[in-house]
Chains A and B, each alone.
Chain A
Amino acid sequence: ENREDMLSSKSNRLTEALEEANKLFSGVSCAREAALDAQFLVLASNIGKEKANELHSQMTSFDSLAFAEDLLTFMGINRIEVEENDSDSEGIPGGYLPSNAWHKLGEETEKYFRRAPSFHYMLGSFKSDPPVPRQRIERQKKATGGEEKRAMPAQLKKMEESHQEATEKEVERILGLLQTHFKNDPDTPISFFDLVIDPNSFARTVENIFHVSFIIRDGFARLKLDDDKLPIIEPLKDNKGKRDDHSTGARNQAVISLSHQEWK
């Protein structure tokens, strides 16, 4: 308990206590007392060590109070000129520290340190544990991947449909034309070439032939050779055409070639 007292360089109390312990030890007879004695010795030696330390630092005593005051001054303290005998905490004078006080002190301090500046990427922070974000990215990728796949077939379907539709529509259109024409003028067969050739576009001509072939295949029209051996086309009534085909089982194939030159 009297630690501070013993530590004081002016006191001999430690020595006195040691001497007393020595005297007491001669009267010791049981183990417990010896243990106490040992404990005392440890304590005493600790105090002794501290005293020795104190000796060293007291060679040039350091006035920490003055240091504190000077620090406050450096930090830019505003000392209030108010006479207060009983301030809220003993020994601490009044005064107001500005908010940048410690920053100011810190800036001065930097000069005395060789601290490595903190390294930060300019473009955003670096997370030192990648696993978490990575998992999220993977999950997201999987999710969007699935969706994308689903989107793809839908798109394709649409395209394919439109193709088929386009073809069908064209076929129907041509058939319609054919039937209308024939209705108006039943006795005049239509020259195949007149029907299919587009004077302005070779490609269109080929397409027309393509579409007409469907009509013939499905039995809505018939190709014949006229007296001049030129192909003519005439629409058939559905039933007749189909029935005919079935009974006769005749299916003819014709290959029509049309080169660009010939078209011209």
Chain B
Amino acid sequence: MSQRKRSKGSGFSQGNDEDEDYGVSQTPTHTQVQRNLERRSQDQVNQKVSELVQFLLVKDQKKIPIKRVDILKKVIREYKDVYSEIVNRAGRTLQQVFGLQLVEIDTKHHIYILTSDLPRAEGEIMHRDNQTAKLGLLMVILSFIFMKGNSAKDGAVWEFLRRLRLQPGERHEVFGDVKKLVTEEFVRQKYLEITPIPLTDPPEFKYQWGPRAAKETSKKNVLRFVAKIQGKDPTFWVSQHHEAES
């Protein structure tokens, strides 16, 4: 506890470049936060909580993960000494009022996403937009990756997608530039992770699940999906089933 005192509410941190002016290099301990909280007006803290909730809801629209740096800079600002309290309260509000979960998908770089706390109810889809179709495509890719052992080469993925009438070079009537959607948008949203395979010439890539995919769905769900599409029981695929259950 004693070594943390120096960093209480301090601005600059040692060598933590991404935190910049709003560095919270060593986060204040719980008791420190509680003490800082007492110095602040409750109304103003609650105001910050509301602002954070709104900020998160809007930032989530495009499904691009939210960085803590942005949260500190744009919402928390001078209240950074009670940052953890504000975030916790915001998370509680999101859960109790909106049925959403604030999830940290990267504990090193402190990146958050919003997921739903509640399962999707039947016949609930109010609006028809491209998001639904994109989710379908994503599920197909995630299924392929999982069933192939949690990792698939780009060549194999695209060969599979071609069978579904998706050509990387052609403009698709629903998805437009499919290649861009898969390799850029899905990656930025952290649904997919595409990494280059070393020493391949011409360069090849490995497709895996991204952290958002892991939080928003599960291997079990994906296996259920595949089973439903193929009209089989999930236990048909022994090792995948085993992995999904573990």
Contacts and interface: CB of A to CB of B under 8 A. Distances in A.
Nearest to A115: B216
A123 to B, nearest CB: 14
A263 B147 CA distance: 109
24 contacts: A54-B149, A56-B149, A62-B237, A64-B144, A64-B148, A70-B229, A92-B163, A102-B137, A103-B128, A105-B139, A106-B135, A107-B132, A108-B228, A109-B132, A110-B135, A111-B120, A112-B221, A112-B224, A113-B217, A115-B63, A115-B135, A119-B57, A119-B60, A119-B61
B240 A115 contact: no
B173 interface: yes
Nearest to B240: A60
Contacts of A92: 162-163, 165
Contact of B135 (A65, A71, A113, A119): A113
B170 to A, nearest CB: 11
Measured as residues with beta carbon below 8 angstroms from the partner, the interface class of chain A is: 35 or more
Q: Please classify the interface of chain A as helix (H, G, I), strand (E, B), loop, or mixed, using the class held by over half of its residues.
A: helix
Contact of B217 (A59, A103, A114, A128): A114
A99 B226 CA distance: 22
Interface string A51-75: 0011011011010111111111010
A116 interface: yes
Interface of A: 42-43, 46, 53-54, 56-57, 59-60, 62, 64-72, 74, 89, 91-92, 97, 99, 102-120, 126, 128
B144 A67 contact: yes
B1 interface: no
B134 A72 contact: no
Given A46-B198, A66-B230, A110-B125, A57 B148 contact: yes
Nearest to B140: A71
A127 B63 CA distance: 16
